Structure 1
Amino acid sequence: MKRSLTCGSYRLFKWQQAGGLTGVSCRKLSSDGIPQMPPCDFKPQEYQSLPYERVLDIRKNLLSPALVTYYKKPILLHQGHMQWVFDSDGRRYLDLFAGIVTVSVGHCHPKVTEAAQKQLGRLWHTTNIYLHPPIHEYAEKLTSLLPGNLKVLYLTNSGSEANDLALMMARIHTGNFDIIGLRTGYHGASPYTLGVTSLSAYKGAFPNGFGCHATMCPDVFRGIWGGSHCKDSPVQTIRKCSCSPGFCEAKDKYINQLKETLSTSTPKKVAAFIAEPIQGVGGAVQYPKGYLKEAYELIRERGGLCIADEVQTGFGRTGSHFWGFQTHDVMPDIVTMAKGIGNGFPMGAVVTTPEIAKSFAESQHFNTFGGNPIASTVGSAVLDVIEEDGLQNNCEVVGTYFLKQLEKLRDRFEIVGDVRGKGLMIGIEMVKDKKTLQPLPAEEMNLIWEDCRDMGVLLGKGGLYSQTFRVKPPMCITKEDVDFGVAVFQTALAKHVERSST
């Protein structure tokens, strides 16, 4: 006999009341067993645009069929406020994916909004063949936040453009051609960057990636080697190892794989190595401590440059440092950034050294919209808000709290294989069981994902098998928001356990 939803909700409620949420910070439950949202004093405007069905019709017939939507019934978002978004029915959601790790300081942050509005009334656009104050003010402000000799700024419109530009710079400066990336790395979908984006879902059946090579990703959870002390994270993997203190066997073995790639797949000289400090689309994958440092040394021995892709990890998101590469104690030659740089405004950037910039100036480079007055103004306001609102510190404090709460769920649920990350760059890898580490099937992932959405929490997905929930919220979230998000996720896990047991 098929049980009713009401009956299932009642049983779940009784499970929670009997101690199901013990050991995990949680919020009060409503009568149907759903965690209650934290209060929010923001009132969204009434939705008055296209009817929902008309929006779906336009999406189907007039927009690219390559565009995907989340959830069985796609959400029609209408308005945003800090860590919250509202749909066309006025329903509120805690946004734990931040527009794919893009909303850094909060949806429609009042200071950023005010700065953009003022600039809109002053000067929308002029290309950089003319001087205008915002780009020069922003260049000075942004480059002051980068260490060493990283002082020359190029402004673009996206992360793909930024990485595309960085790869071209490396080839021109070194006079070499071959570029090394990591498997499951994501750096964009332009023809150049597709070569170093090592996820087949983004690759079309056409020639791309000439001279690009992918070496083994040093994933200490799912990879061949790893242990319980490898990562720079408040939460370590459950995987055990026999490494002695201060010695990481996994790091050395993954470095040997990079050496093998260099010995078998490339000429003696290479142009560049590109890596995210923590992989984003790949599923918040973290490398063993010391891996990037030794990788950089190997690349430089072969005449190559080292590129840090900070599109998702930059601007304080990792908490302990402003830039993700700083957590690895390395100094890149080129840094690329986008997404959180503009809090959702389309912009990206490349920062490099004067020496590399000089080589690149041998040919003319121009970007019509890169560094336009509005983008520069927005970028500058974002930097001000990060400092004034203490958001880097918030990432460290709230992010560590978030990871520790999720760790408790990992220890209680067989299907939660790994919790990893740093600051508010978090991944939850789901498995069939902790012994085999087989990825949780897509249909089961989707059921948990849909349940979270139904209870008011939006999560992303990533990983080679889409087996990892991506948790990368606006950097303004609070511990109270975390308690709600964790309680919702646990409730969804418990519902999954109940479904699987019947």
Structure 2
Amino acid sequence: MVNNASMDIGALWTCGTKLSLHTKPQMPPCDFIPEKYKALPYNRVLEIHEQHLSPVVTAYFKKPLLLHQGHMEWLFDSDGNRYLDFFSGIVTVSVGHCHPKINTEAQEQLNRLWHTSTVFFHAPVHEYAEKLSALLPDPLKVIFLTNSGSEANDLAMLLARAHTNSTDIISFRGAYHGCSPYTLGLTSVGSYKTELPVGTGCQATMCPDVFHGPWGGSHCRDSPVQTTRKCSCAPESCQAKDLYVEQFKDTLNTVVAKSVAGFFAEPIQGVNGVIQYPKGFLKEAFQLVREKGGVCIADEIQTGFGRLGSHFWGFQTHGVLPDIVTMAKGIGNGFPMAAVVTTPEIAKSLSKRLLHFNTFGGNPLACAIGSAVLKVIKEDILQENSHEVGTYMLLKLAKLRDEFDIVGDVRGKGLMIGMEMVKDKSSRQPLPREEVNQIHEACKQMGLLIGRGGIFFQTFRIAPSMCITKPEVDFAVEVIRSALIQHMERRAE
């Protein structure tokens, strides 16, 4: 187990029964000293979890981490061990754990007013609405505040259907748009599907994945790192995009009604392992949906708020203007908060049909925190940092792809990165889950926390807080490289 920054983690590395001789990566310094853990013992936490919490197995690692405290890009467990957090609470802690500026704003609001509801006015919600709307292009200026991404996407589905008087909504295979009964229809990842009747009226279309799909190659995606697949596309004309558009047309001509309610798209798929589409695809798909009478929804729950670096919103990287935008996760730096932003026309379509009400959406504390997040992103120049440090990390990870045959693909933009593990580059078949688990565990043992994604959980999802530095990237890449070397040693035994 990792101890505080000084412990020689390398002494604990083993490959079967043979001690590894590799030099351990040196964890960057951190001047924050966590409080001593004084809460429930670990074994008691396990007992309570087994007896009273959801039986669905979601915890990472053979021995789940019992986290105690966080500071910026760092997490500390109940034993005082320090970890570099490169998954950010599932792409949620946008500007850093317990960011001091946000803590100050939250504490001031906490002392002033925790909660009131939309039947009363309060300044924080109006201040936040003005700040958020200023970051979105016309006519996206009407904001519905909610509590989670699933709830935001629920509402976006309702808005689309109320405005169009149609039912069918299209999403990509591999899409994740939430786990509520309504959004489960949109989510198209096998492990989230159920035999129970949920989310009716949703249809999944082919994901234009240039690494695993039938078309695509080395010129197709908006990333500093391209797939190593050979590409027949010209630099200014993506043949793969055209072929995927034909598949999208086939969906519109066969499995939905003559008119549709809408189309949901993540600018980059998150849960499916940071999947990027061919350049220009979304622009043509949006046009086709609108010709069918539908509206276009950008799910920015993981991609928004500057994480992609080059733009504040993911949809801007595709050169499109959605009719509805949903956002959550990084909006509150981990505080439960979400939003749906749409046009006045679409908003009025809903108000004519029902009285929409949300008890906790837009409460004073959430809005004060949301405003503080926007302030920190601007003052700390975090969007620019995402671009610079994210590009730096992508290029370093690409060198690992060139070094190891089991690293099939490295992709992403800014600080939303996927590293897909394969049996070998020629087959592109997913590396077995138990082998991916071993690499994942080894990274944790060396003090690095990363995520997992993909249909077969074969892709490492790397999405740190936007405050990270290049020295921390250097450490993370060396940890991953060391974990890969350990794994290759195990294979050779």
2:33 to 15, 28, 43: 43
Matched, 1:455 2:446: yes
Q: Secondary structure at the match of 1:121?
A: helix
> C-alpha offsets along residues 396-442 of structure 1, whole Å, 9 cap, x if unaligned?
00000000000000001000000000000000000000000010000
1:234 to 224, 231, 236: 224
Matched, 1:206 2:215: no
Matched, 1:427 2:418: yes
Query: Where in structure 2 are the equivalents of 1:41-190 lying within 5 Å?
Result: 41-190=31-180
2:311 to 284, 308, 321: 321
Aligned-residue offset at 1:341: 0.2
Is the CA contact (8 Å cut-off) linking 2:15 and 2:489 kept in structure 1? Answer: no
- Aligned equivalent of 1:243: 233
Aligned-residue offset at 1:6: 8.3
Aligned-residue offset at 1:5: 3.1
Gaps of 5+ in 1: 14-32
2:260 to 247, 258, 270: 270
Aligned mates of 1:354, 1:438 — CA distance in 2: 47
Is the CA contact (8 Å cut-off) linking 2:391 and 2:413 kept in structure 1? Answer: yes
> C-alpha offsets along residues 266-310 of structure 1, whole Å, 9 cap, x if unaligned?
111000000100000010000000000000000000000000000
> C-alpha offsets along residues 438-466 of structure 1, whole Å, 9 cap, x if unaligned?
10000000000000000000010000111
Matched, 1:376 2:367: yes
Aligned-residue offset at 1:8: 7.0
Aligned mates of 1:122, 1:373 — CA distance in 2: 9
> C-alpha offsets along residues 376-410 of structure 1, whole Å, 9 cap, x if unaligned?
00000000000000000000000000000000000
Aligned mates of 1:447, 1:5 — CA distance in 2: 12
Identity in percent? 66
> C-alpha offsets along residues 443-496 of structure 1, whole Å, 9 cap, x if unaligned?
000000000000000010000111100000111000000000000000000001
Is the CA contact (8 Å cut-off) linking 2:15 and 2:486 kept in structure 1? Answer: no
Is the CA contact (8 Å cut-off) linking 1:292 and 1:328 kept in structure 2? Answer: yes
Following TM superposition, the consecutive aligned residue runs of length 4 or more in structure 1 with deviations greater than 2 angstroms are 4-12
Give the aligned length.
480
Is the CA contact (8 Å cut-off) linking 1:12 and 1:494 kept in structure 2? Answer: no
- Aligned equivalent of 1:26: none
Aligned mates of 1:166, 1:285 — CA distance in 2: 22
Q: Which amino acid aligns with 2:382?
A: L
Q: Secondary structure at the match of 1:257?
A: helix
Q: Which amino acid aligns with 2:300?
A: E
Matched, 1:440 2:449: no
Aligned-residue offset at 1:209: 2.6
Aligned mates of 1:281, 1:482 — CA distance in 2: 22
Q: Secondary structure at the match of 1:355?
A: helix
Aligned-residue offset at 1:83: 0.2
Aligned pair in 2 of structure 1 residues 8, 399: CA closer, same or farther (>3 Å)? farther
TM-score (norm 2): 0.96
Aligned mates of 1:159, 1:6 — CA distance in 2: 41
Q: Which amino acid aligns with 2:87?
A: F
> C-alpha offsets along residues 29-82 of structure 1, whole Å, 9 cap, x if unaligned?
xxxx21110000000000000000000000011111025211000110000000
Aligned mates of 1:370, 1:241 — CA distance in 2: 47
- Aligned equivalent of 1:16: none
Aligned mates of 2:457, 2:318 — CA distance in 1: 26
Aligned pair in 2 of structure 1 residues 6, 168: CA closer, same or farther (>3 Å)? closer
Aligned pair in 2 of structure 1 residues 6, 154: CA closer, same or farther (>3 Å)? closer
> C-alpha offsets along residues 62-119 of structure 1, whole Å, 9 cap, x if unaligned?
1110252110001100000000000001000000000000000000000111111111
Aligned mates of 2:477, 2:21 — CA distance in 1: 16
Aligned mates of 1:7, 1:150 — CA distance in 2: 57
Is the CA contact (8 Å cut-off) linking 1:12 and 1:495 kept in structure 2? Answer: no
1:223 to 213, 232, 237: 213
Is the CA contact (8 Å cut-off) linking 1:283 and 1:469 kept in structure 2? Answer: yes
- Aligned equivalent of 1:283: 273
- Aligned equivalent of 1:22: none
Aligned mates of 2:486, 2:56 — CA distance in 1: 32
- Aligned equivalent of 2:3: none
Is the CA contact (8 Å cut-off) linking 2:16 and 2:490 kept in structure 1? Answer: no
Is the CA contact (8 Å cut-off) linking 1:220 and 1:230 kept in structure 2? Answer: yes
1:5 to 1, 14, 17: 14
1:395 to 386, 389, 394: 386
Matched, 1:484 2:475: yes
Q: Secondary structure at the match of 1:45?
A: coil
Aligned mates of 1:346, 1:51 — CA distance in 2: 27
Aligned-residue offset at 1:7: 9.3
Aligned mates of 1:499, 1:411 — CA distance in 2: 20
Is the CA contact (8 Å cut-off) linking 2:83 and 2:448 kept in structure 1? Answer: yes
Q: Secondary structure at the match of 1:140?
A: helix
Aligned mates of 1:305, 1:169 — CA distance in 2: 9
Aligned pair in 2 of structure 1 residues 8, 38: CA closer, same or farther (>3 Å)? farther
Q: Secondary structure at the match of 1:419?
A: strand
Aligned mates of 1:99, 1:145 — CA distance in 2: 25
TM-score (norm 1): 0.94
